[in-house]
Amino acid sequence: MKYSVFSLLKEAFRGHTGWTPAWRKAEPKADYDVVIIGGGGHGLATAYYLATEHGITNVAVLEKGYIGSGNAGRNTTIIRSNYLLPGNEGFYEWSMKLWEGLEQSFNYNAMVSQRGVLNLYHSDQQRDAFARRGNAMRLHGVDAELLDREAVRRMVPFLDYDNARFPIHGGLLQRRGGTARHDAVVWGYARGADMRGVDIVENCEVTGFDIKDGRVTSIDTTRGTIRAKKVGLAVAGNTSRVGALAGLRLPIESHVLQAFVSEGIKPAIDHVVTFGAGHFYISQSDKGGLVFGGDIDGYNSYAWRGNLPTVEDVMEEGMAIWPGLGRIRMLRQWGGLMDMSMDGSPIIDRTPVGGLYLNCGWCYGGFKATPASGWCFAHLIARDELYPVAAALRLDRYATGALIDERGAGAQPNMH
Amino acid sequence: MRIPCPFCGPRGNEEFTYLGDASVQRPDPTAPAAAQAFHDYVYLRDNPSGLHQELWYHGGGCRKWLVVTRNTRTHDINDATFADGGARP
């Protein structure tokens, strides 16, 4: 069923009795051309683009829980393409372009809101660094504006501009950045893939791979063995665990990242604002809750929850730029598993196992990459060649030295 | 999460700095396949879901490096010893 103003009107007159489920609850078949492991945003986007761009529809997406129950359902929904390094910037800009046409493409309201992403700077040195990043963005054809203090004040008047330790000197603004509705992105891709024949199999955990002559032939799951010509792995925080089932040892550590939502308030903050002296980002959802987060906790974890020192740290950073935040109550807080890579940048590549493809290393920035990740991963799986804008996101870059280390922190995942 | 420092006793994890997996060993740089061994040492991790031996530095306390055995699924800590092998004082 195509969603439109006409279908809405029609259903309004029928008492909304004609809506059908947005996707089927598929049973796994015995045989597929492509199996995607991981029913999050990236996995479902991959299946969607396999169907729409490459005509491959004999595809299953296997999900251990329900779709979107991992990081796709627990992020701070920010989309942006404000990176410095060439290996990243073209890729994230492609993602931004796909976001801009996404809702028309998959006929679903993902509530993409280009409200602008404002990175605050707090010193002359940081201004120079941000100017450099802004210039790098513009050289890639991406919009970036360096704002002075007064221009920022006109946008966000209530921040603490004269904070004794971290005064706000200005900001780097990407107007095309913003937010999207995370669950709707998952549902839109699931619906779009399902309409084209992709099987979305929930409650189906992968327990092993059958590898013959260096090539994956089938997958053991809790719902039986499934044969597959090609297998794509997009399981974020569980990458090492599932990869180990195929004998892979990967440059990934799993870390916990916490995020927070306040009680609902009237519209207060119109943009995504980030604190440059620490690591803090905040926006407001359409329900009115302030959505914000900071650093990862910083130690290996599969626990889906963090510890209080990080909570305190995030609150302190929030108070440093916006003292009014202290009068608002925090409503919810949760943790997700980040597949932290060794240089802080993602991997979309083949693996040493034939027919097994890898999509991982998104650190805590995977949501914004969802469309391009799916696009490039689908291209890789379908044609066995790297998509040009993702050509630097190689697994072997740790051996060749062609690292993409935005932060310059080295092989220390909790520092990225 | 409280880490039972063998010198200071149980202390909050905010006093500590995390380095990572304590089981990786620096390879012999003169060995024939040293480049590959160093790649594995620097970049590849087992990243287990379960018991994990890891290095923590107690910068907010005794300033000793510790090897902590912690369950990454539950954050339960089974053991903490001095990384240099020193005995508990």
- Average pLDDT for consecutive 10-residue bins of chain A (416 residues)? 94 95 96 98 98 98 96 95 96 98 97 98 97 97 97 97 96 98 98 97 97 97 97 97 97 97 97 96 96 96 95 96 95 95 97 98 96 98 97 97 95 94
Give the integer Cα–Cα distance in Å for A386 and A99: 21
d(CA A80, CA A367): 10
Which residues in chain B are contacts of A254 at CB distance < 8 A?
A: 47, 49, 72
Could you tell me if A303 lies within 8 Å of chain B, comparing CB atoms? yes
Contacts of A32 (CB under 8 A, 6+ apart): A58, A59, A60, A199, A226, A227, A228, A229
Candidate from A303, A309, A411 with C-beta closest to B42: A411
Distance CA B37, CA B35 (A): 5
User: Which residues of chain B have a Cβ shorter than 8 Å from any chain A Cβ?
Assistant: 1, 12-14, 18-21, 36, 39-40, 42-49, 52, 54, 70, 72-75
Tally of CB atoms within 10 A around A139: 11
Tokens of A191: 């619906």
CA–CA min distance A249, chain B (Å): 6
Q: pLDDT tens digits, chain B, 89 residues: what are they?
A: 999 999 999 999 999 999 999 999 999 999 999 999 999 999 999 999 999 999 999 999 999 999 999 999 999 999 999 999 877 65
> What are the E-state strand segments in A236-355?
252-264, 272-275, 280-284, 289-300, 330-341, 347-350
Residue ranges with strand state E in A222-329: 224-233, 252-264, 272-275, 280-284, 289-300
- Taking only the tens place, the pLDDT of each residue in A229-245 is 999 999 999 999 999 99
| Binary contact (A307, B1; C-beta < 8 A) | yes
- Smallest CA–CA distance, residue B81 to chain A, in Å, is 18
Q: What is the pLDDT of residues A86-127, one digit of tens each?
A: 999 999 999 999 999 999 999 999 999 999 999 999 999 999
pLDDT given for residue A1 in this prediction: 83
Q: Do B20 and A414 count as a contact with CB atoms less than 8 A apart? A: yes
Rounded to a whole number, what is the distance in Å from the CA of A54 to chain B's nearest CA?
Answer: 33
Of B43, B46, B73, Cβ closest to residue A342: B43
Tell me the three state secondary structure of residue A17: coil
Do B20 and A303 make contact, defined as CB atoms within 8 angstroms?
no
Pick A302's closest partner by Cβ from B42, B43, B73.
B73
In terms of CA atoms, which chain A residue is nearest residue B21? A300
CA B52 to CA B3: how far, in whole Å? Answer: 14
Distance (Å, whole) CA A302 – CA B49:
6
Token digits for B69? 């055995």
Q: Give the closest of A252, A312, A398 to B47, CB-based.
A: A252
Question: Could you tell me which chain B residue has the CA closest to the CA of A339?
Answer: B47
Q: Do A300 and B1 touch (CB under 8 A)?
A: no
Q: What is the pLDDT of residue B86?
A: 75
Please tell me which residue of chain A has the smallest CA distance to B53: A300
Answer whether A293's CB lies under 8 Å from A287's CB. no
Residues of chain B with Cβ-Cβ distance to A398 below 8 Å are 39, 42-43
User: Minimal Cα–Cα distance from B85 to chain A, Å?
Assistant: 22
Q: Which residue of B has its CA nearest to A243?
A: B46
**What is the per-residue pLDDT for B85?**
85
Residues of B in contact with A298 (CB under 8 A): 18
**What is the rounded CA–CA span in Å between residue A152 and residue A170?**
6
CA distance A378 to A241: 23
| Contact A333/B at CB under 8 A | no
Q: Tell whether A342 lies on the interface with B, counting CB pairs under 8 A.
A: yes
Mapping DSSP to helix (H, G, I), strand (E, B) and coil, where does residue A244 land? helix
Give the pLDDT of residue A53.
98
Window 233-292 of A: residues touching B by CB (8 A cutoff) are: 238, 240-241, 244, 249-254
In the numeric block, which tokens belong to residue A42? 């990236």
Distance (Å) from the C-alpha of residue A207 to the closest C-alpha of chain B? 14
B47 → chain A, closest CA residue: A253
* Interface contact flag, B54 A300, Cβ < 8 Å: yes
**3-class secondary structure, A225:** strand
A304 interfaces chain B, CB cutoff of 8 Å:
no
pLDDT of residue A323: 95
How many CB pairs below 8 A link A and B?
Answer: 69
* Inter-chain touch A250–B44, beta carbons under 8 Å: yes
d(CA A230, CA A193): 17
